[in-house]
Structure 1
Amino acid sequence: MLPLLLWTAVFVAGLAVLVKASDSFTQSAERIGISFGISPFIIGVTIVAAGTSTPELVSSVLAVMKGSSEMVVGNVMGSNVTNVFLILGLSAIVGKKMVTGYELANVDLPLFVGSALLVSVMVWDGIYSIPEALLSLALLLVYLIYALRAERVAEEVRARFLEEEGIAQPKRRKLSPKVYMKLVMSAFFLYLGANYTVVSVVKLSEMVGIGTEIIAASAVALGTSLPELVVSVRAAAMNKPELAIGNVLGSNIFNSLGIMGISALFGTLVIPAAITGFVMPMMIVATLLYFVIIWEKEITLWEGWMLVIFYVFFLGKLFALF
């Protein structure tokens, strides 16, 4: 009993350090992005999305290096389910009704759905190879290039409008070196927290007889998704729907393509049957629901409650409570 409590405490502590370091990392990265004049949505789908996905990335890479690669796909797909069902759902509940003016239907939504379907097809046969990882990373690169190019066009349009109206463009404030130091220190504690999180999950799964992929798809996925939860819910409360919606979209794309792809470069990924049998179909359902809901550029309070109920069902089924 004592070893179980001890490793549970290590898991909670490691996860807390991981989440706190990720929050600090994301804040620093966001400040750097704002100082360069990047728009809120692009910050959401690039800087904040990648920053809030650092817990999944660091813990996944370490899991592969420690011989527990089954955690990777569980963490990735569990996080994607959590992002849509729980985080987007709670954001909609807090924001009452979130409406975005950003055009998602042309490229963002198809890439969002495509990334989930691509990784699902790739792991369907129980093997995720290096060539598949490279293809995933290539698609992620395509999306990032598109997002940055779209931002550049929008920036040119804004500059032209301000010039025509005779309005001086706001000056970009220079950042203190402390911001960059904070970024580096946060990265160190990300590694530290991820290391103890992975070790404790392996130990706990051995003690309680639950597969590491199940713990990864539930407890680890929820814990590493806390940065996305904080960012999105806070954005919804502050009436910044683009940031909340963009953060979920960007995080899921980065999880499916970036984390799976990068992790596979460090070793072979094991794809457990529990993932392909239940977690993967739930991720596809979550992706399609996001597509249908966001197609109209808004998400209501009632749709938020529906998503949260889906998340409760997901956890209940995962632990055979239903």
Structure 2
Amino acid sequence: MNFLLIIAGLVLLILGGNWLLKSAVALSLKLEIPKIVIGMTVVSFATSAPELIVSINAALSGAPDLALGNVIGSNIANLGLVLGITLLLGSMEVQKSFYKTNWPVMMIASAMLYLFLISDKVIVQYEGVILFSFLIIFLVYLLRFQKTAILDELPEDDEPLPLYKIVLFLTIGGLGLWGGSELLIKGATALALEFGVTERVIAVTVVSIGTSIPELAASVVAVLKKEKAISLGNLIGSNVFNILAVLGVTSMITPVAVTDMGLLNNDIFWMLGVSLLILPLVFFPKGMRLNWKDGIVLLAIYGLFIYFTI
């Protein structure tokens, strides 16, 4: 029963995210906002919406480990699982913006999260404001100076929609995300009790893989269609948004405290480690590209993470 709740919640989150994205892009086109701005703001927020809604809902429901574990677990899943599987399907050229902006910003965001948590085991309101402000600075920098570094991230069928359809998609997308997060949190917390594991373990495994499914689906479809494969910058961007937007916004609404020390003693180090590892993988043995061997390394690391966590 709890598994059914989790699956139903994930399906609603994925559909809700998709509808939200469709309506957000259509609204941006209607308002004649440049595509580049849409790609970096609207699309990034829409694809991080499942994590955002789940984390806010979890924190407000008194399950902060689910909120934190979801973000930390999603970041590990994006690089270990999603990137790993994508590389098994085809090699990937890496843009210069990877080591100039994307990777350093991801590492700074990860380090900020670690420092905020290690000091008092809670992310309070002003720390949330700092995280979110850093995101705004990063976006302004990208939009002003890095236009060439931002790949066109829009769905292929970004056709203008009539206003009533935009409102309809926006409404059902929002309701889908909210309903999906409710079911997911209910199922995840009950499952944790049933199996005698902590909410944190469920969050960094089941919930985080679930909220990373949109990225995984997009990656596999892009590779199979032989279109530009989902870029490394895109997955790193998702990790940056998870920390700065999801945890930033959640902690501005309500403080996010660590109750299970496994998050600080184990999970956050896996997140920092896999984020650091991407840099040498990109440069060795062949510069500025990733292939199936790197994919196997990343999947093996993800497998070890799951093994040691469970």
Q: TM-score, normalised by structure 1?
A: 0.83
Is the CA contact (8 Å cut-off) linking 1:232 and 1:245 kept in structure 2? no
1:134 corresponds to which letter in structure 2?
V
Q: 1:303 maps to what in 2? A: 294
Q: 1:165 maps to what in 2? A: none
User: What is the SS of the residue equivalent to 2:98?
Assistant: coil
Per-residue deviation, residues 103-148 of structure 1 (Å, max 9, x unmatched)? 3322222111111111112112312222211111111111111222
User: What is the SS of the residue equivalent to 1:104?
Assistant: helix
Alignment partner of 1:176 is 2:162: yes
Of all paired residues, the percent bearing the same amino acid is 24
Once residues 192 and 133 of structure 1 are traced to their aligned partners in structure 2, the CA distance between those partners, rounded to angstroms, is 25
2:9 corresponds to which letter in structure 1?
G
Alignment partner of 1:68 is 2:77: no
Query: Closer, same or farther in 2 for the Cα pair 1:245/1:154, shift >3 Å?
Result: closer
2:117 to 123, 145, 156: 123
Is the CA contact (8 Å cut-off) linking 2:125 and 2:252 kept in structure 1? yes
User: What is the SS of the residue equivalent to 1:275?
Assistant: helix
Per-residue deviation, residues 74-116 of structure 1 (Å, max 9, x unmatched)? 111000000000011111112x211144533222221111111
1:16 corresponds to which letter in structure 2?
V
1:122 corresponds to which letter in structure 2?
F
Is the CA contact (8 Å cut-off) linking 1:88 and 1:244 kept in structure 2? no
Query: Closer, same or farther in 2 for the Cα pair 1:151/1:71, shift >3 Å?
Result: same
Q: TM-score, normalised by structure 2?
A: 0.86
What are the residue-to-residue correspondences of 1:146-295 with 2, within 5 Å?
146-150=141-145, 174-177=160-163, 178-241=165-228, 243-271=230-258, 272-294=260-282
1:106 to 100, 113, 118: 100
Query: Closer, same or farther in 2 for the Cα pair 1:300/1:214, shift >3 Å?
Result: same
Q: Which structure 1 segments of 5+ residues have no match?
A: 1-5, 156-171
- Per the TM alignment, residue 291 of structure 1 is displaced from its structure 2 partner at its CA by 2.8
- Per the TM alignment, residue 233 of structure 1 is displaced from its structure 2 partner at its CA by 2.4
Query: Closer, same or farther in 2 for the Cα pair 1:315/1:38, shift >3 Å?
Result: same
Q: 2:35 maps to what in 1? A: 38
Query: Closer, same or farther in 2 for the Cα pair 1:293/1:241, shift >3 Å?
Result: farther
Once residues 263 and 241 of structure 1 are traced to their aligned partners in structure 2, the CA distance between those partners, rounded to angstroms, is 33
Query: Closer, same or farther in 2 for the Cα pair 1:287/1:202, shift >3 Å?
Result: same
Is the CA contact (8 Å cut-off) linking 2:95 and 2:149 kept in structure 1? no
Q: 1:138 maps to what in 2? A: 133
Per-residue deviation, residues 174-225 of structure 1 (Å, max 9, x unmatched)? 4433245313321111001101111222222222221111101100000011
Q: 1:58 maps to what in 2? A: 53
Worse overlay, 96-105 or 244-253: 96-105
2:75 corresponds to which letter in structure 1?
N
2:254 corresponds to which letter in structure 1?
G
When the two structures are aligned, how many residues end up with a matched partner? 295
- Per the TM alignment, residue 18 of structure 1 is displaced from its structure 2 partner at its CA by 1.3
Once residues 291 and 190 of structure 2 are traced to their aligned partners in structure 1, the CA distance between those partners, rounded to angstroms, is 42
Once residues 242 and 141 of structure 1 are traced to their aligned partners in structure 2, the CA distance between those partners, rounded to angstroms, is 27
Per-residue deviation, residues 216-242 of structure 1 (Å, max 9, x unmatched)? 110000001101111222223344547
Once residues 132 and 147 of structure 2 are traced to their aligned partners in structure 1, the CA distance between those partners, rounded to angstroms, is 22
Query: Closer, same or farther in 2 for the Cα pair 1:7/1:98, shift >3 Å?
Result: same
